[in-house]
Amino acid sequence: MEKDTASGAELPQRPHGLLRDQIQLVKRKDLDRYEIVSIPDSLSFEKGFFIVIRACQLLAQKNDGIILVGVAGPSGAGKTVFTEKVLNFMPSVAVITMDNYNDSSRVIDGNFDDPRLTDYDTLLENIKGLKAGRTVQVPIYDFKSSSCIGYRTVEVPSSRIVIIEGIYALSERLRPLLDLRLSITGGVHFDLVKRVLRDIQRAESHLHIEGDLCFVITIRAVTVEQIKAVIAADHKEATEETYDIYLLPPGEDPEACQSYLRMRNRDGKYNLMFEEWVTDSPFIISPRITFEVSVRLLGGLMALGYTIAAILKRNSHVFADDKVSVKTDWLEQLNRLYVQVQGRDRNYVKYVAEKLGLDGSYVPRTYIEQIHLEKLINDVMALPDDLKTKLSIDDDLVLSPKEALSRASADRRMKYLNRNISTHIQMEEIRACLS
């Protein structure tokens, strides 16, 4: 028999056949409780949903008190969507989101995904209270102000099932308390990627999968002579005009999204790009999948609920060798010239950037993030003077991006998120840019 190292339970051999027959209970040695035998295989969203519902039912039959379910996974993996699907099927389930236990005083280098940010003492106290049958006060965290703005009352649910949802819901401090542990993988475009890859295999279309692309961005000016001095003598040089249409996935916040779908038009060809990025100062790291598509795909994506967040036009002068490429990008929307050093080896990217004299001038944001940030700053600057006074906003403070982000009012954010731009207007903008 196998052994579950997390609980010390002996694992029986899993039978083959129907999915429901593969859900088995095993008694934990350290507690007088049952848990579900681990399923090592990856499951689809729908099969995983079925497994979780059935597992919760079995655990509720066998165990007394609260049934604690941990739902973990990286940002954009679909934790919230999955949890909401469970909640729609079982409305009596209580959900506690770990984001609400953020402690902004613990933020290091602007990393809001750092596990040290979580106030585990309060979270564990709330869990302890629910297990004891008490009503608890769960904090409400506001990402705009990076602070707790109040509390909501959570009672012991009639189903006795409580879901803890968050990136670190399976961490060492929570794992021993959980009756069911669930890891969500994939991303907001996961099902779409699978369908597109299937269609590409059928049509034998062009597909390019890149590893982690590492780059730094700056607004410090460099000359062509400086660039040619730091790259190989046999480098390639080209000029490009590119239109990037950034598509926001259904239900995503445009100010926090890091998983835009990008449709690119260059030299009359269209490519769809799946990518995500993370910042590891001074680098921006972005794995991506790119494949050639028809422009007609855009209408289909919008019919699926994707919306256009921005259309970015840039004119680039590119210098590239086998190890690195250096680009000067003129961004029309920002009316500004950027320099980008790009490659796979971050040490070499850093070396080239330093040789160009760029050290200390890096912009820790992608172009789409920069556009949204400057829009937000402009929104704040456009507020009436009396409202600025009420919000304690002055011109000097607003010049700081972090200050602008934290001080932008929730009302203006909701107005932005609920803006009603018709599909007709969006399509006319695209035709004008891509014609």
- Whether 302 shows a pLDDT value over 70: the answer reads yes
pLDDT for the residue numbered 386: 57
How sure is the predictor about 377, in pLDDT bands with cuts at 50, 70 and 90?
low
- Whether 384 shows a pLDDT value over 50: the answer reads yes
Residue-averaged pLDDT of the chain: 76
Virtual torsion, Cα 103, 106, 112, 115, nearest 10 deg:
-90
pLDDT for the residue numbered 414: 42
Domains 2-183 and 190-434 belong to one CATH topology:
no
CA dist 41 and 218 (Å) reads: 44
pLDDT for the residue numbered 112: 57
The distance of Cα 174 from the centroid of its chain, to the nearest Å, equals 23
**CA distances to 26, 36, 317 from 337, in Å:** 62, 56, 11
Residue 414 corresponds to which tokens in the numbers above? 């909701």
Q: Answer with the residue of higher pLDDT: 29 or 122.
A: 122
Taking only the tens place, the pLDDT of each residue in 252-269 is 777 667 677 888 898 888
pLDDT for the residue numbered 107: 63
pLDDT for the residue numbered 401: 37
pLDDT for the residue numbered 428: 47
Residue 112 corresponds to which tokens in the numbers above? 């809001």
**For the chain, domain boundaries:** 2-183, 190-434
pLDDT for the residue numbered 424: 42
Q: Which class in CATH covers the domain with range 190-434?
A: mainly beta
pLDDT for the residue numbered 3: 41
Q: What percent of the chain has pLDDT over 70?
A: 68
CA dist 178 and 52 (Å) reads: 13
pLDDT for the residue numbered 390: 46
Taking only the tens place, the pLDDT of each residue in 305-361 is 788 888 889 999 999 999 999 999 999 888 899 999 998 888 899 899 999 999 888
* pTM (predicted TM-score): 0.46
Q: Answer with the residue of higher pLDDT: 65 or 401.
A: 65
Q: What residues contact residue 202 under an 8 Å CB cut-off, 6+ apart?
A: none
AA identity, residue 108: I
Closest CA to 408 of 149, 143, 151: 143
Q: What residues contact residue 373 under an 8 Å CB cut-off, 6+ apart?
A: 365, 401, 404, 405
Closest CA to 36 of 27, 45, 48, 47: 27
Q: Which class in CATH covers the domain with range 2-183?
A: alpha beta
Q: Could you tell me if 120 and 173 are in contact, meaning their C-beta atoms sit under 8 angstroms apart?
A: yes
Q: Could you tell me if 144 and 255 are in contact, meaning their C-beta atoms sit under 8 angstroms apart?
A: no
The secondary structure of the chain, three-state, reads: CEECCCCCCEECCCCCCCHHHHCCEEECCCCCCEEECCCCCCCCHHHHHHHHHHHHHHHHHHCCCCEEEEEECCCCCCHHHHHHHHHHHCCCCEEEEHHHHECHHHCECCECCCHHHECHHHHHHHHHHHHCCCCEEEEEEECCCCEEEEEEEECCCCCCEEEEECCCCCCCCCHHHCCEEEECCCCCCHHHHHHHHHHHHHHCCCEEEEEEEEEEEECCCCCHHHHHHHCCCCCEEEEEEEEEEEEECCCCCCCCCCCCEEEEEECCEEEEEEECCEEECCEEEEEEEEEEECCCHHHHHHHCCCEEEEEEEEEEEEEECCCEEEEEEEECCCCEEEEEEEECCHHHHHHHHHHCCCCCCECCCCHHHHHHHHHHHHHHHCCCHHHHHHCCCCHHHHCCHHHHHHHCCHHHHHHHHCCCCCHHHHHHHHHHHHC
Mean pLDDT of 273-288: 71
- Whether 15 shows a pLDDT value over 50: the answer reads no
Closest CA to 182 of 293, 21, 362, 55: 55
How sure is the predictor about 251, in pLDDT bands with cuts at 50, 70 and 90?
confident
CA dist 228 and 235 (Å) reads: 8
Q: Answer with the residue of higher pLDDT: 336 or 10.
A: 336
Taking only the tens place, the pLDDT of each residue in 83-112 is 888 888 888 999 999 988 988 776 665 555
CA dist 195 and 305 (Å) reads: 16
pLDDT for the residue numbered 2: 40
Mean pLDDT of 215-243: 91
